[in-house]
Structure 1
Amino acid sequence: MYRSEQFVFDEGKPIPIIIRNYTKEDFDALIAIQAECFPPPFPSELWWNKEQLTNHVNLFQEGAICIEIAGQVVSSLTGVCTQFDPSHPNHTWAEATDDGYITNHDPNGNTLYIVDISVRPAYRSLGLGKIMMQAMYHVVIENGLERLLGGGRIPGYHKKADTLSAHEYIDAVVRGDLYDPVVSFLLRCGRKPIAIVENYLDDEESLNYGVLMEWKNPFK
């Protein structure tokens, strides 16, 4: 079981946090976090259900972590091990994660694939997403995997789609000419875009695009 205690700062005030694996006792809180993080038009049927969460803790608990502040779970990150071939990157979120049920978890896979990351909006200024991502980098290294990978939403793209292709939009975000709340965050976490995938996820804001973003294990 993973457990780490540290501090984050809120307007200069240190706030103690606990990073740990989530368990079945956290399921109601995790579903509530999903509802806060992905309001309509994001489809509510894509929020976690308890069968999915049960699989997360039973099949690959190393990849199921959360952050607790003052006894409240305020964020979560879920991963699954998979076999990834960079020369054939196209896939959907549903294919990579078995629709979030992760029954395709491969203990012999070469890649830790991020299924989901969620932080309650009221806590997003504390850097919790980056802390959870760094915890997953440790899992990559400890398990001798080649990379951490995941498909990021590009929720700002619908505002620019009339003038930019998805590739042009991502290039502009990487250059710093545009800001995207998901892609820019993943860049700050150390991940790099390696491919843009059409019909990655049913997501109106991203026009169903996803951008695959990778962190390579520096010891492989």
Structure 2
Amino acid sequence: MSKQEIDNIRIELLKLSDYEELKTIMIAAYPSMPNTYWREAKIEKLISIFPEGQVVVKINNQMAACALSIVVDYNQFGDKHSYQEITSNYTFDTHLSDGDVLYGIEVFVKPEYRGLRLGRRLYNYRKELCEKLNLKSIVFGGRIPNYYKYSDTLSPKEYIEKVKLREIDDPVLNFQMSNDFYPSRIMKGYMEGDSASKDYAVLLKWDNIYYEKPTKSIRTIKPIVRIGLIQWQMRLYKDIEELMQQAEYFIDAVSGYKSDFALFPEFFNAPLMAAFNHLSEPDAIRKLADYTKEIVDRFSQLAISYNINIITGSMPEVIDDLLYNVGYLCHRDGKIDRYEKLHVTPDEKKVWGLKGGSQLKTFNTDCGRIGILICYDSEFPELSRILADEGMKILFIPFLTDTQNGFSRVRHCAQARAIENECYVAIAGSVGNLPKVHNMDIQYAQSMVFTPCDFAFPANGVKAESTPNTEMILIVDVDLDLLKELSQFGSVRNLKDRRLDLFNLTRR
């Protein structure tokens, strides 16, 4: 494209709706590697965890170039690392909002737009972002795609020296050095399958001269998170006022211990169905759904007044005449998020007519990114793996089980989720009985917090557990920094060691 044909040119944050266009230009940018484009789920995660780091250049409203990046704690890696390690096997779990280095993971330009200095625009954007975020430097591994022409006669070091002296033309390396990036070291085996570079790369850096070392540690996410689990006693309440009075009692209690989260069980408000016991089960639970909005509103007020994030367990909700099992995350700053039970049990479907939801997502909180799965959903490992890929560090599971074997399914699946996803998992259930509520006769529960199984954690993977079948609260501290260490230095690294060359898990 000639300059005369350009009406406008601008840099924009990458949006998920741009994906198909992004895929097309990436394939065009790497004609020798047609299958090495980023999948949509990876782009979605990058946008979710670090939107400022993902940018595109648009010319005449058409995408022409793209740059992707993350922020890392560079001390965890040092100068000897591979592309897989720095990206945590392409999951980007190494991204930390309180990291100190902007790491470039991708820059490409559509062939017909080369020569317009779009790469320089993208690099300048990165420099401004680095300064804005007060990061030490920009770092990335630069390919040397012309090296294969000289590999028989020159070592990588000799090749780079000749490029510096302009005795060899390497347009990629020359461009990077002309934009103030300096070679720091040569890395062997940086990017698997880069035959043109003979598996070598040059570690390139740009130092932020305006960087100011914080006088004290500044963290956007607190490292120690305190969780309050409410093992709720099912008992009859004459009305919603009595129910919410009991709920506030527990919120007051866990808040008094300075908990960051309060977790209620699934269908904790089922006692209110006693007033509708003369109706059929499907009609009774739909009447219970009439209380949901008021309960959520009141929980939100309690979250603000008690300065605690409340996970409301779950409640029935009717949308377009369809009955769902849903819950709400009431943040202590007043924000409210909604989650759904995706898999309903055969009994829930047969007796109540419940329908499975379709929303699966992680939630950003002032204590990091969390996930919430309602009871039966914890028994489907794909769900929590998707949440882990999106950065979840704590998984909350409100549940309701009537028998000990039903509880055992939730308990053991929840513990497996903690191990395989390198996260904490908190489960909370109800105890007691409701003889005057059909299909809710008895409950069995033991609320617990699970951890990965490695040296920094309890040997049995159980951080804390309540007394079975007893109304009580359980207060538990979890250390998010231990998860970072596990990801890099654990005895086993379940997320990193996945064979993504053999399988992949994506959303539809």
- The reply to whether TM is greater than 0.5 is yes
Q: Which residue of 1 aligns with 2:197?
A: 206
Letter of the aligned partner of 1:216 in structure 2? D
Deviation at 1:119, TM superposition (A): 0.3
SS in 2 for 1:125: coil
Q: Which residue of 2 aligns with 1:3?
A: none
Q: Which residue of 2 aligns with 1:174?
A: 164
After superposition, residues 67-216 of structure 1 pair within 5 angstroms as 67-85=57-75, 88-201=78-191, 202-216=193-207
Distance 1:161 1:22, change over 3 A: same
Could you report, residue by residue, the CA deviation over 1:39-85 in whole angstroms, capped at 9, with x for unpaired residues? 22x362x3110011001110001100001111111110001001224
Match of 2:52 among 29, 52, 62: 62
Give the Cα–Cα distance (whole angstroms) in 1 for the partners of residues 108 and 93 of structure 2.
21
Give the Cα–Cα distance (whole angstroms) in 2 for the partners of residues 185 and 179 of structure 1.
10
CA contact (8 A) 1:146 1:217 kept: yes
Give the Cα–Cα distance (whole angstroms) in 2 for the partners of residues 139 and 11 of structure 1.
27
Question: Does 2:9 match 1:17?
Answer: yes
* RMSD between aligned residues: 1.9
CA contact (8 A) 2:77 2:86 kept: no
Question: Does 2:32 match 1:32?
Answer: no
Unaligned runs of at least 5 residues, structure 2: 212-508
Give the Cα–Cα distance (whole angstroms) in 2 for the partners of residues 87 and 67 of structure 1.
30
Deviation at 1:14, TM superposition (A): 5.9
Letter of the aligned partner of 1:68 in structure 2? K
Unaligned runs of at least 5 residues, structure 1: 1-8
Q: Which residue of 2 aligns with 1:6?
A: none
Give the Cα–Cα distance (whole angstroms) in 2 for the partners of residues 146 and 176 of structure 1.
29
CA contact (8 A) 1:155 1:181 kept: no
Paired residues in the alignment total 210
TM-score (norm 1): 0.90
Give the Cα–Cα distance (whole angstroms) in 1 for the partners of residues 65 and 149 of structure 2.
27
SS in 2 for 1:126: coil
Letter of the aligned partner of 2:17 in structure 1? E
TM-score (norm 2): 0.40
Deviation at 1:143, TM superposition (A): 0.5
CA contact (8 A) 1:53 1:101 kept: no
Could you report, residue by residue, the CA deviation over 1:16-35 in whole angstroms, capped at 9, with x for unpaired residues? 20101010110111111111
Letter of the aligned partner of 2:39 in structure 1? N
Which structure's CA Rg is the greater one? 2
Distance 1:28 1:101, change over 3 A: farther
Give the Cα–Cα distance (whole angstroms) in 2 for the partners of residues 171 and 10 of structure 1.
34
Q: Sequence identity of aligned pairs in percent?
A: 27
Q: Taking CA–CA contacts closer than 8 Å with sequence separation of 6 or more, which of the two structures ends up with the larger relative contact order?
A: 1
Give the Cα–Cα distance (whole angstroms) in 1 for the partners of residues 102 and 29 of structure 2.
23
Distance 1:188 1:13, change over 3 A: farther
CA contact (8 A) 2:186 2:202 kept: yes
Give the Cα–Cα distance (whole angstroms) in 2 for the partners of residues 66 and 14 of structure 1.
16
Match of 2:208 among 214, 217, 220: 217
Give the Cα–Cα distance (whole angstroms) in 2 for the partners of residues 50 and 86 of structure 1.
28
Could you report, residue by residue, the CA deviation over 1:184-218 in whole angstroms, capped at 9, with x for unpaired residues? 11112211110110000120100011111001001
Give the Cα–Cα distance (whole angstroms) in 2 for the partners of residues 185 and 29 of structure 1.
25
Deviates more, 1:101-110 or 1:61-70: 101-110
